[in-house]
Structure 1
Amino acid sequence: MGRLFGTDGVRGVANQNLTPELAFQLGLAAGYYFKKRSGLAKPQFAIGKDTRISGDMLEAALACGLTAIGADVFELGVIPTPGVAYLCRSLKVTAGAMISASHNPVEDNGIKFFTGEGFKLTDEMEDEIEAIFREQLETIERPTGVGVGQITDRSDAVARYEEFLAGSVETRFDGLRIVVDCGYGASFALAPKVLEKLGAEVIALHDRDNGARINVKCGSTHPEILQREVVAAGAHLGVAHDGDADRIIAVDERGEIVDGDAIIAICALHLKAAGKLKNNKVAVTVYSNLGMIQTLKEHGVAAAVTANGDRYVLEALREQDLVLGGEQSGHIIFLDKNTTGDGVLTALQLIAAVVESGKRLSELAGQVHKFPQVLENVRVGTKEGWQERAAIGAAIARAEAELGDQGRVLVRASGTEPLIRVMAEGPDEGRLRELVGAIAAAIRGELGG
């Protein structure tokens, strides 16, 4: 067995490699870790889940493991991942867990933990839990009698998160027509409700609790239906979320995509104009468009560029005392408001920027100049040792030599899927596609698909 924790918790095909037995044992290990860390005889855990079919099964197993170690469990029901992060603080629990595979297909699922402060666990904390999981489960003393934990339904607490979201902006959305694609995921009820509470006329797409169709040709990874509906409805804009609603992709009134890079830039410039952008700096990843970074620089906003992944963005935000950062994929953190990427909250901040600027979203997005960027996700039979394959290295080297200082090539393995991501950026989109295609072909030739 490889490392239990990946880049975003424990992931796998539900009931195959992410089994209820594993979830039970993970509950024991995590419960024991937080019991020792907190010094509490009965630590409290908040558990949330998205809509996917296997959520109930894994929730029951995880809660069983936690209560077996003596922890009390608050079951939040269906809620976005950032809602769990927020409620960890609001409910003052010892830790939290979210059961979701984010934008992945319905057969996948995952378990990720949060501290009582609402932050995802560090690598060191995950390593300690994994060591307990592998080495101590048989010897851990389990409580009996009144020492056993209990499970309480706290789905009522989702209303606290809704109120928090509605209060995160200072302006109302009266007169706006907004299309929201919930992707049959965790935001299916919450996102339309919050927008309506703020006065918007809402057209909701894929807004049912249908875990069999989560992320299927809808949501932030498939915005085509949203684009068509925004234009057909004459809406002012549209927003789309993924399965656990920690991401957002927006669509302007013309049906054009406004990605995470553009959203970060729009919100950064809006905050700077209001004197609310700490240190006039944002955190972005190596995948962020160089043109976007240049646009920010032209407006007096610096960019801290991190490795790919929201944990590195968060690390930069905390270390450099910043309030805004995120990824091109739409995983965006407003650290002065929540401790993790929050798709619904980001949508509200973006819409508030539109309202307060008096401009259309297309005008705001038009300020952000971008270089052509081509990304291909290459599905492979194995990711092991891909960096040592000479043919792949040669294809990358040829592309880098051709682009020189006029562009760049980034190739990395996905942390959650059997994919190698190939991205090239430069002045000529046609040539970029050829270069990316050549690298992708080398990867398929070496690693299968």
Structure 2
Amino acid sequence: MGRYFGTDGFRGEANVGLTADHAYTVGRFLGWYYGELKRQKGDTSAPRIVIGKDTRRSSYMFEYSLVGGLVASGADAYLLHVTTTPSVAYVARVDEFDCGVMITASHNPFYDNGIKLINGNGEKMDEETISLVEDYIDGHLEVFGKKWEEIPFATKDAIGCTVDYVSGRNRYIGYLISLGLYSFKGIKVGLDCANGASWNIAKSVFDALGATTIEMGVEPNGTNINNGVGSTHIENLQKMVVEKGLDIGFAYDGDADRCLCVDENGKVVSGDHILYVYGKYMKDKGELVNNTVVTTVMSNFGLYKAFDEAGIEYAKTAVGDKYVYEYMNEHNCILGGEQSGHIIFSKYATTGDGILTSIKMMEVMLARKKKMSELCSPLVIYPQVLENIRVTDKAAAQNDPEVKAKVESVAKELGKTGRILVRESGTEPVVRVMVEAEDKETCRNLVDSVVNVIKSRGYEA
């Protein structure tokens, strides 16, 4: 991870860890850098950068600050307004933008925000470019063969402009609709949009495909994103699906790059379930390229057992859909994702896309003529407990000798009946302690034993 940018962008509390000045500075660099890349190729046209944002109150502040920096450096800023992260990736790719920016803190509370950078291929920005952004923020930029104490401002007619580009978001909606292979008529669907970026998109797609939709989390006010709704608070969607007799429910996070499902009985369908259901579907159709599904180290033991029984191979990457996509791209895989609901269908998208995931799950249900509970039934999930502990220093907490000794002790105790995983969050000052075992009580006791050592060593924030 970089000095400012983690696995999923530059994220922090608005105007505390991430300020309006930071956004302006990022805009200044991007506008100048992509312009300079063009100029070195003899192209004097203004760089084109597309921007989306979620529904946080601070997103407007960061958008305007970012735009100020971009146009001051000579770039033209195209505004999608409130939209999803995958829509920015889609528009950046198909409309041939130099890069894209999404202003969001995903599943974090409203007072946090973030800046995600996307390259012209619709992929998460490469580490080399991100490192240059960080160098500029720190005031020691060296690129194009020289050191830059400051980068030049654009002047006269070279100053950039802003362009209302809501048409790009509308084309993305049309693209999603085009991926629906079956009519959703007669299917009752619950949609939880987390009071976030999908609130004005998801229903449009499902309605166009013929579903009967009931929504929640579609009243954003700037401070209620992810507040008791969305994929991190799926219990309310579970209740709604059961009470209203729905066939299925889908819950998104704040920027809608992830999706979790709820089956007709109100049971949560995790990212692992989604990988199994769609992987098996593609395997049976003879369309699972390389017969491989890409997972992360956080996927459940039960998923791998179910894959083994289905004759499906799998790969494991570090946590982060960025790493999943990199592996998929390098090894020509078409399906990968995370337990948390970041699912990548590389035939259709370059990032996780919650609404696309919903459409593909509907496709399997309709093609198989089965309920979601039936599709998921062969997958038996091992009990798992995950504890997030906020710490003062993630690296120190993990590398502390007493913490490491305790983790090794737990691993030895579990043997072949389970596993322990301790890792730091890429987006928060958090260490995650996860245990899988044959029963929930064992998981809970072993997680607590590790967390207690972390606390006793004085790392708890």
- TM class by shorter chain equals over 0.9
Paired residues of 1:70 and 1:147 also in contact (CA < 8 A)? yes
Structure 2: which amino acid aligns with 1:214?
A: I
3-state SS, counterpart of residue 304 of structure 1: strand
Matched with 1:354 is 365
For the residues of structure 1 that align with 2:254 and 2:193, how far apart are their CA atoms?
Answer: 8
* Pairwise CA distance, 1:138: 4.3
Deviation by residue 1:364-412 (Cα, 9 ceiling, x = unmatched): 1112122222111112233241122122112211111101122211001
3-state SS, counterpart of residue 134 of structure 2: helix
Structure 2 residue 204 is matched with structure 1 residue 187: no
Matched with 1:19 is 19
Structure 2 residue 225 is matched with structure 1 residue 214: yes
Q: How does 1:366-377 map to 2 (within 5 A)?
A: 366-377=377-388
Match of 2:265 among 250, 254, 263: 254
Q: How does 1:411-430 map to 2 (within 5 A)?
A: 411-430=422-441
* Pairwise CA distance, 1:90: 2.4
Structure 1: which amino acid aligns with 2:350?
A: T
Matched with 2:28 is 28
Which stretch shifts more, 395-404 or 122-131? 122-131
Paired residues of 1:38 and 1:94 also in contact (CA < 8 A)? no
Question: Could you tell me the TM-score, scaled by structure 2's length?
Answer: 0.95
Q: How does 1:217-256 map to 2 (within 5 A)?
A: 217-256=228-267
Matched with 2:140 is 135
Q: How does 1:187-336 map to 2 (within 5 A)?
A: 187-336=198-347
3-state SS, counterpart of residue 444 of structure 1: helix
* Pairwise CA distance, 1:360: 0.5
Unmatched segments (≥5 aa) in structure 2: 142-147
1:36–1:301 CA distance, 2 compared to 1 (3 A):
farther
Deviation by residue 1:126-145 (Cα, 9 ceiling, x = unmatched): 11222233324642122211
Structure 1: which amino acid aligns with 2:11?
A: R
Which stretch shifts more, 355-364 or 125-134? 125-134
3-state SS, counterpart of residue 404 of structure 1: helix
Identical positions, percent: 42
Match of 1:63 among 55, 61, 67: 67
Matched with 1:388 is 399
Structure 1: which amino acid aligns with 2:436?
A: E
Paired residues of 2:391 and 2:431 also in contact (CA < 8 A)? yes
Matched with 1:171 is 182
Matched with 1:113 is 117
Deviation by residue 1:60-101 (Cα, 9 ceiling, x = unmatched): 000110111110010100000000000112222111000000
Structure 2 residue 88 is matched with structure 1 residue 84: yes
Question: Could you tell me the TM-score, scaled by structure 1's length?
Answer: 0.97
3-state SS, counterpart of residue 362 of structure 2: helix
Unmatched segments (≥5 aa) in structure 1: none
Deviation by residue 1:182-227 (Cα, 9 ceiling, x = unmatched): 0100000101110111010000001123221000111000001100
For the residues of structure 2 that align with 1:270 and 1:384, how far apart are their CA atoms?
Answer: 41
Paired residues of 1:80 and 1:245 also in contact (CA < 8 A)? yes
Matched with 1:448 is 460
Paired residues of 2:260 and 2:341 also in contact (CA < 8 A)? yes
Q: How does 1:97-112 map to 2 (within 5 A)?
A: 97-112=101-116
Matched with 2:97 is 93
Matched with 1:7 is 7
Q: How many matched pairs?
A: 448
